[in-house]
């Protein structure tokens, strides 16, 4: 038995791919959503979340906490209009994303802080005092 690759383009699949490749607007691959990259790191006292979203402002973000689930979302609409004597051109752009993370039980939910700086949203998730490891202790031998 041979496996046959099936193309999902709506109009003349092989012809469109041959001339325009998979980036042609009628193909199914052109509708992917861009989700910002996230780095999560852990220290002894907190978890740090860094979400890369350049070109936004802090008012573009919505950060919510519901039942130990941290949700970061953003939604913005841009409109550009230029008028001349012969024509009017209007362009619209719509940009949105949402990322959700289940937080461990060791996070102090009352101490979560967020700030936006140089295109990166930083969220600090402090650990509960019980979850912070005690420093190494030297025991004296008698």
Mean per-residue pLDDT of the chain: 80
Q: What is the pLDDT of residue 11?
A: 52
Per-residue pLDDT 10s for the chain (142 aa) are 444 444 454 555 555 555 555 554 544 443 345 788 999 999 989 999 999 988 888 888 999 999 999 999 998 877 888 887 777 787 877 788 999 999 999 999 999 999 999 999 999 999 998 888 888 888 889 8
Q: What is the pLDDT of residue 50?
A: 96
Q: For the chain, first and last CA: distance in Å?
A: 78
The residues, ordered by sequence, that sit 6+ positions from 59 with a Cβ below 8 Å of its Cβ are none
Q: What is the pLDDT of residue 100?
A: 93
What DSSP element (H or E) covers 20?
A: helix 13-20
Is the backbone of residue 55 left (phi > 0), alpha (psi -120 to 50) or beta?
Answer: left
Q: Domains in the chain, ordered, with CATH?
A: 33-131 (2.60.40.790)
**Is the separation of the CB atoms in 51 and 61 below 8 Å?**
no
Q: How far apart are CA 63 and CA 72, in angstroms?
A: 5
Q: How far apart are CA 115 and CA 108, in angstroms?
A: 18
Q: What is the pLDDT of residue 1?
A: 43
Q: What is the pLDDT of residue 89?
A: 80
Q: What is the pLDDT of residue 13?
A: 55
Q: How far apart are CA 102 and CA 67, in angstroms?
A: 9
Q: What is the pLDDT of residue 112?
A: 95
β-bridge pairing 46-52 and 61-66: unpaired
């Amino acid at each position: 038995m041979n496996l046959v690759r099936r193309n999902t383009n709506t109009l003349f699949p092989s012809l469109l791919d041959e001339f325009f490749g998979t980036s042609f607007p009628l193909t199914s691959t052109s509708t992917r959503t861009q989700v910002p990259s996230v780095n999560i790191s852990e220290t002894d006292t907190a978890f740090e979340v860094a979400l890369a979203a350049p070109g936004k402002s802090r008012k573009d973000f919505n950060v919510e906490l519901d039942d130990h689930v941290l949700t970061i979302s953003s939604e913005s609409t841009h409109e550009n209009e230029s008028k001349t004597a012969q024509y009017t051109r209007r362009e619209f752009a719509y940009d949105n994303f949402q990322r959700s993370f289940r937080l461990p039980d060791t996070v102090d939910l009352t101490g979560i802080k967020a700030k936006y700086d140089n295109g990166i949203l930083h969220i600090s998730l402090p650990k509960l005092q019980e979850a912070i490891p005690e420093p190494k202790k030297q025991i004296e031998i008698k």
